[in-house]
């Protein structure tokens, strides 16, 4: 039974993905993402050398790196520890207003049929920059590499990591 089912399942899986390959790829990293606040990685991670994982604290531990909660910004900007920020500090320190979170727009996404987690990469010592480029030089995050299957596989081959279809695909 399995002798028939496995090839059929595989063919369906590959067929489905191939159709996707020729359709638009809505998950391709975007070059033109606008953010609600002009947050600059160059100023924070570059000039002021704030470690990536101070803000993206979940990268090491879980699937997503996440973006920092506004509380993290307030830690530095709330009491005017850092000057020159009136327009953005005001709502953070105005206790008359209900608390809010900043809605950042995503730059990187992957399709649902790919499993990606940051954790094994960070534990294996892969630098953020190998995938995201020199973020610490960017005023606005822009993808440097197109994150496609070839990109994943060429590094996996070099580093002796998995090439098994079902480790990356559901
Ligand atoms: C560890 C401290 C720290 C944290 C956390 C932090 N900042 Fe900053 N931020 C700074 C410093 C230092 C500057 C540079 C200020 C200067 O040069 O006058 C700055 C500058 C800025 C500026 C002005 C940039 C410009 O064009 O001059 C904005 C906007 C800003 N931060 C937003 C944020 C937001 C949003 C967050 C949370 C996601 C955040 N910051 C978290 C330290 C921090
Ligand atoms: C002071 C906090 C802070 C530090 C330090 C920081 N980031 Fe960020 N990061 C943010 C915020 C806020 C966003 C969401 C806004 C944006 O995309 O610019 C973000 C977004 C990103 C994104 C885009 C996520 C997406 O898909 O939308 C990447 C990639 C990223 N950061 C990587 C890094 C790397 C690599 C470093 C270290 C070199 C770093 N960050 C340091 C706060 C920080
Ligand atoms: C092996 C490549 C790779 C490395 C290394 C890597 N990332 Fe990512 N990152 C990705 C991919 C791919 C996505 C899109 C994930 C998705 O859509 O599920 C992403 C998404 C993100 C996001 C968007 C929010 C989220 O969690 O999905 C942030 C922020 C981010 N990365 C920050 C970092 C930081 C900070 C580091 C270093 C500590 C890092 N990344 C290392 C590939 C990488
Ligand atoms: C720059 C190098 C590099 C890139 C790019 C990269 N990886 Fe990896 N990946 C690694 C390394 C190194 C490991 C850890 C191998 C180990 O621990 O044995 C790993 C591990 C993994 C694992 C865990 C494997 C397991 O056996 O549990 C998955 C899943 C994975 N990567 C998926 C991806 C996906 C999906 C992409 C593309 C979005 C990607 N990787 C891009 C280097 C990379
Ligand atoms: C290291 C992780 C990884 C492995 C291993 C992997 N893939 Fe993928 N694959 C991806 C990512 C990421 C995408 C989606 C990004 C893209 O290419 O658009 C993808 C997309 C695809 C697509 C859609 C076409 C395309 O390129 O967009 C097909 C078909 C596919 N994979 C088949 C396979 C088969 C068959 C295997 C086993 C031989 C395999 N993949 C192994 C990461 C992986």
Are the beta carbons of 102 and 70 closer than 8 angstroms? yes
Q: Which atom in ligand 3 lies closest to the alpha carbon of residue 52?
A: 35
- Whole-number Å distance between alpha carbons of 170 and 44: 37
Count of residues making up the chain = 170
Task: List Cβ<8 Å contacts ≥24 apart for 63-70.
Answer: 63/116, 63/117, 63/118, 63/119, 64/118, 65/118, 67/104, 69/101, 70/99, 70/100, 70/101, 70/102
Which residue puts its alpha carbon closest to atom 34 of ligand 1? 73
pLDDT at 35: 82
CA angle 133, 30, 73 (to 5 degrees): 70
pLDDT at 77: 75
Q: Which residues of the chain have pLDDT under 70?
A: 1-31, 58-65, 78-100
Cβ neighbours around 135 below 10 Å, total: 18
- Whole-number Å distance between alpha carbons of 16 and 142: 30
Are the beta carbons of 145 and 131 closer than 8 angstroms? yes
Are the beta carbons of 141 and 33 closer than 8 angstroms? yes
The rounded Å distance from CA 22 to ligand 5 centre is: 13
Query: Looking at the CA of 75, which ligand is closest?
Result: 1
Which residue puts its alpha carbon closest to atom 37 of ligand 1? 73
Which residue puts its alpha carbon closest to atom 36 of ligand 1? 73
pLDDT at 70: 77
């Amino acid at each position: 039974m399995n002798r028939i089912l496995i090839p059929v399942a595989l063919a369906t899986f590959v067929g489905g993905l191939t159709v996707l390959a020729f359709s638009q790829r809505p998950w391709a990293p975007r070059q033109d993402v606008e953010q609600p606040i002009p947050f600059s990685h160059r100023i924070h991670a570059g000039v002021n050398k704030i470690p990536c994982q101070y803000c993206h604290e979940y990268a090491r531990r879980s699937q997503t790196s996440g973006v920092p909660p506004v509380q993290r910004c307030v830690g530095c900007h709330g009491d005017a520890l850092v000057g020159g920020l009136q327009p953005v500090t005001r709502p953070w320190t105005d206790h008359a207003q209900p608390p809010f979170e900043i809605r950042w727009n995503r730059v990187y996404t992957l399709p649902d049929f790919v499993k990606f987690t940051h954790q094994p990469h960070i534990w294996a010592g892969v630098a953020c920059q190998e995938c995201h480029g020199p973020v610490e030089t960017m005023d606005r995050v822009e993808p440097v590499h197109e994150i496609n299957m070839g990109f994943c596989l060429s590094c996996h081959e070099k580093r002796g990591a998995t090439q098994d279809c079902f480790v990356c695909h559901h």
